[in-house]
Structure 1
């Protein structure tokens, strides 16, 4: 299927024209983002935790230490909400009321499950690394059995997911278009700067392809 089914939880109610359930678009936004915000409740108390993630097909992977309260809680099978937002620009209108932002966002609902199978767990760890910087997995030493055992990996199926997107110029009141006030969009982009080597790195070690070719 090319789109996710619309559910009561994923249906966009506020400005529904900005809603989108296209699977390719949702994958694209998730793949471009680097940090997600994971929401869940413990004994009725809400928590929202920023964390890294990775995606393989229609599975979103989250990982961390067995000592993590977040992961210990999620192992029990609680409902979660994951959000990823990409900020594309500030939208400057002729009135403060109509200022806005151009953005792409994804919201995912579901229940995360612990990944126990060794091959899937290793594939998830690779997905985390490749999500941060493509090509890096093959450049570093392999993970050890101890490192794998010391990491909890959770999988969240992408079954309830929706995107919300705003693009374009400001939407001012008709009367305000005649005002002598600048209006438009101030684009924002997340971009990488020049790499800074580890102070303990040998001067003989060259910049690897993953870093040299990195582009956002």
Structure 2
């Protein structure tokens, strides 16, 4: 992860992170990103699922999708809100969060690389699912675009902790309202006759 003019922390530098593990922390914690691209001269930001490994983030979609451009720099953003920071002053209110912005020119994958990336993406979203479900067939692969974007140019910011205005004399309650999320119990498809597999049951109650 290298610092560039696009990824240099200009404001709130104390919240910036420059180590690769901080980037992995943000990517591991989620599975939905926002892909920002310019299409026909206009900006487009599209929510989509992602997967990643030590070198790349992977995105997929229909071959007809206009957002899956591969001829210009794209920006992938992942954000997690961990709580509201409620200060003594409205001006000092904020959010505890973890975020990453990744810049790069997407590369379209084919053949074994494409299939491997789809496996990485599937296992990130639902660990254990690739071995349990049917793999994509030739027709499905032909209808799918898979892009890889290098993790080399990324910006990470993390904000944790209490309000920063403890010295403010205004006597009101101040603190943090945490936001927690967890997977609920599985709901079976009405046409399913099989029991819930172990890899799905393991997610029940798991925070994300």
Q: TM-score range by the shorter chain?
A: over 0.9
1:94 aligns with 2:125: no
How many angstroms apart in 1 are the aligned matches of 2:105 and 2:24?
19
**SS in structure 2 at match of 1:182:** coil
1:42 CA drift (Å) = 2.2
What secondary structure is seen at the aligned counterpart in 1 of 2:77? Answer: strand
**CA RMSD between the two structures:** 1.2
User: Which residue in 1 is equivalent to 2:181?
Assistant: 190
The 1-side partners of 2:37 and 2:11 are apart by 22
Equivalent residue, structure 1, for 2:19 = 22
Partner of 1:115: 109
CA distance in 1, matches of 2:76, 2:89: 33
How many residues matched? 205
Structure 1 Cα separation of the partners of residues 93 and 11 of structure 2: 17
Deviation of 1:180 after TM superposition, in Å, equals 2.9
Query: 2:30 aligned with 1:41, yes or no?
Result: no
Of 192, 199, 204, 1:210 maps to 199
Stretches of structure 2 that go unaligned for 5 or more consecutive residues are none
CA distance in 2, matches of 1:66, 1:42: 15
Q: Which runs of 5+ in 1 are unaligned?
A: none
In the alignment, which of 128, 147, 169 is matched to residue 154 of structure 1?
Answer: 147
TM-score, L = length of structure 2: 0.94
CA distance in 1, matches of 2:78, 2:108: 21
Q: 2:138 matched to which residue of 1?
A: 145
Residue by residue over 1:53-75, the C-alpha shift from the partner in whole angstroms, topping out at 9 and shown as x without a partner, is 1102211111111111112xx13
SS at 1:211 equivalent: helix
Alpha-carbon distance in 1 for matches of 2:141, 2:89: 54
CA distance in 1, matches of 2:40, 2:141: 30
Structure 1 residue 173: deviation in Å?
6.0
1:55 and 2:52 equivalent? yes
Structure 2 counterpart SS, 1:67: coil
Alpha carbons 2:83, 2:176 under 8 Å: kept: yes
Q: How far, CA to CA, are the matches of 1:184 and 1:47 in structure 2?
A: 36
